[in-house]
Amino acid sequence: MTDTCRLHVVGDGPVAEALLTLAAPLGWSVTSSTDDPGVPGGVDALVVTSHHDGVDGPAIRAGLEAGTAYIGGMGSRRTQERRREWLLENGVAEEALATVHAPIGLDIGANAPGEIAVAILAEVIAVRAGRTAAGSVGDRQGPIHPDLPAGDAYCPGG
């Protein structure tokens, strides 16, 4: 995994705006579209927030066809089922659908748009790091930064 992530957000609204704002301090490259289901080449993560039938399914299908490492869709379980049906009816295999993260985001109790964006970005980070069962660092055994030698972690607070 590299530190830089190329994130593409499909949709608009407060959560999409928060995603664009919060990804910048992470050093990520971010692109977005509001109603174009196309996915730029070389994208590492695709987040769909649109809730529009003519955009959601095609964007997810394009991300799957491009081999995008992380694909997630925001919305209710009813929205997820509607997308799933569209994808199956439009040639996406059941196995491919199993790789789509939906509903999107880690379960951190997020409600406000910024909180939801944090939960989504945290899930992208966890998936890219191979942490499929991400939870609290305090609940994990072993070093806090297992990929770094002891004493090499950077602490922005001093």
- The whole-model pTM stands at 0.84
- Determine the structural domain holding residue 51 and report its residue range: 6-139
Q: Which of 101, 112, 124 is nearest to 15 (CA)?
A: 112
Q: Tell me, yes or no, whether 117 lies in a domain.
A: yes
121 — phi, psi (to 5°)? -65, -35
Residue 154, domain member (yes or no): no
Q: Which residues pair with 73 in a beta bridge?
A: 48
pLDDT tens for the chain, residues 1 to 158 = 456 899 999 999 999 999 999 999 999 999 999 988 889 999 999 999 988 878 999 999 999 999 999 999 998 888 889 999 999 999 999 999 999 998 898 888 888 899 899 989 999 999 998 886 665 444 556 665 577 777 665 443 33
Asked if residue 122 is part of any domain, the answer here is: yes
Provide the number of structural domains found in the chain.
Answer: 1
Q: Is residue 57 part of a domain?
A: yes
